[in-house]
């Protein structure tokens, strides 16, 4: 008798999602194919003239940036726990 209950439970686990998927598929609208216009009209204005000489690119700066100072503390230490007294930590 327990075997038939297991089969029934397995069938329900499989059949219910399949039924939901089939119902959802049956109720969805089929999308219409997009309508393409029979003719495309472009603006009749003339295109903008292209510059004869490209704009000069800015030269990179030669500014040297110094390195940050070397410290012995870990990188994730934010150095604001010197006044932390742990009274509010529960």
Helix, strand, coil share of the chain (percent; to 5): 30, 0, 70
pLDDT of 30 reads 79
Q: Model pTM?
A: 0.32
Q: Which residues contact 79 (CB under 8 A, 6 or more apart)?
A: 73
pLDDT tens readout for residues 31-83: 788 888 888 777 777 667 676 776 777 777 778 888 888 877 766 666 566 66
């Amino acid at each position: 008798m327990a075997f038939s209950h297991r089969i029934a439970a397995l069938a329900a686990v499989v059949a219910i999602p399949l039924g939901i998927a089939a119902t959802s598929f049956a109720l969805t609208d089929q999308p219409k194919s997009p309508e393409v216009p029979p003719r495309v009209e472009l603006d009749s204005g003339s295109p903008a003239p292209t510059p004869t000489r490209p704009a000069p690119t800015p030269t990179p700066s030669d500014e040297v940036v110094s390195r940050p100072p070397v410290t012995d503390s870990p990188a994730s230490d934010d150095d604001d726990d010197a006044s932390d007294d742990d009274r509010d930590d529960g």
